[in-house]
Amino acid sequence: MKRLKGRLAWSMMGVLAAVLLAFGATRSSGPSTQEERIDAISKRLACPTCNGESIYVSRASAAESIRNEIARQVAAGQRVDDEIVAYIESRFPGSLLLPPGEGVDSLVWILPVVALVCGFGGLVVVFRKWKREGDVQANADDAGVVAAALRDYEDPTEGL
């Protein structure tokens, strides 16, 4: 059993996982129907009249007409997704749901990374500190106090 769970078995498992993941990740992906392209595009755009809902989510009539426009462009097949998004954005400024990584807006992307680095960096620092200081040690007196307290606690039952 020990050998079964040894390094060899674990390395085999690692290789197997890597191969399967590589195979799966590289095989054909992407939307298979026009409708799925329309969905993918409409998820990236905000509906102009409905409080931050995407075109994909919203059932409002403005969203419906933009969805029809996207459908027309997808059906025409002349533009790729990014171009369609850019076209809609040019007609309805501010409809991009993904904040661009420029200027102040880039903070929305940078701050999460900073938070993650700070979080795990902080963990590393405290573990270093703990390692340096070592664990608390009680001296023989402390142990005596605890033992006496426990004796007191159990005494009543012994006396009966």
Partner 1 sequence: MPAAVWASGVAGPVGRGALLVGVVAAAFGAIAAITAARESARGEIPRTARLVPRFVGLSLLAALGAIVAMEWAMITRDFSLQYVQDHGSRSTPALYNFTAVWSALEGSILLWIFALALSAGLVAWRYRRRLDDQLITWAIAVICIVMVFFFILSFGPANPFAAGAPGVTDGPGPNPLLQNHILVLFHPPILYLGYVGFTVPFAFAIAALITGRVGEGWLLETRRWTLFAWGFLTVGIILGGWWSYEVLGWSGVWAWDPVENASLLPWLTGTAYIHSVLVQERRGMLRVWNLSLLLATFSLTILGTFLTRSGVLNSVHAFSESDIGSYLLVFFGIIVLVSLVLIGWRGDALRSPGAIDSPVSREGAFLANNVLFSVFAFIVLLGTVFPLVIEALQDRQISVAEPFFDRLSIPIGIAILALMCIAPVLPWRKASTELLRDRLFWPAWCGIGALVAGIVSGADGLAPLLAFALGGFSGGAALRQVVLATRRQGWRGLVGRANGGMIVHIGVILIAVALSASNAYTQSQELRLSVGTPATFAGHTFELVGFREEKDDRSTAVKALVSVDGGQAYAPAITKFLNMGMNVGTPSVKTTWRYDIYLTLEPPVKMDSGEARIKVFVKPLIMWLWIGGGLMAVGTILAAFPGRRRRRPTDPTSAPVPVGEGRVTT
Q: Which of residues 69-98 bind partner 1 (CB under 8 A)?
A: 94-98
52 token code pair:
């931050």
Residue 78 or 137 with smaller CB distance to partner 1: 137
- Radius of gyration from C-alpha coordinates of the chain: 31
Q: How far is the CB of 154 from partner 1 (least distance, A)?
A: 8
Site for partner 1 in 113-132 (CB under 8 A): 115-116, 119-120, 122-123, 126-127, 129-131
**Can residue 158 be called a binding residue for partner 1 (CB under 8 A)?**
no
CA–CA gap between residue 27 and residue 29 (Å, rounded): 6
**Can residue 101 be called a binding residue for partner 1 (CB under 8 A)?**
no
Burial group, residue 46, by CB count within 10 angstroms (0-12, 13-18, 19+): buried
Interface residue with partner 1 among 76, 78, 90, 140 (CB under 8 A) is: 140
CA–CA gap between residue 55 and residue 67 (Å, rounded): 7
- What is the DSSP secondary-structure string of 45-64? BB-TTSTT-BTTT--SHHHH
Interface residue with partner 1 among 35, 82, 83, 155 (CB under 8 A) is: 35
Give φ, ψ of 54 to 5 degrees: -80, 165
**Can residue 62 be called a binding residue for partner 1 (CB under 8 A)?**
no
Q: How far is the CB of 122 from partner 1 (least distance, A)?
A: 8
Interface residue with partner 1 among 11, 21, 80, 91 (CB under 8 A) is: 21
Residue 22 or 80 with smaller CB distance to partner 1: 22
**Can residue 145 be called a binding residue for partner 1 (CB under 8 A)?**
no
103: left (phi over 0), alpha (psi -120 to 50) or beta: left
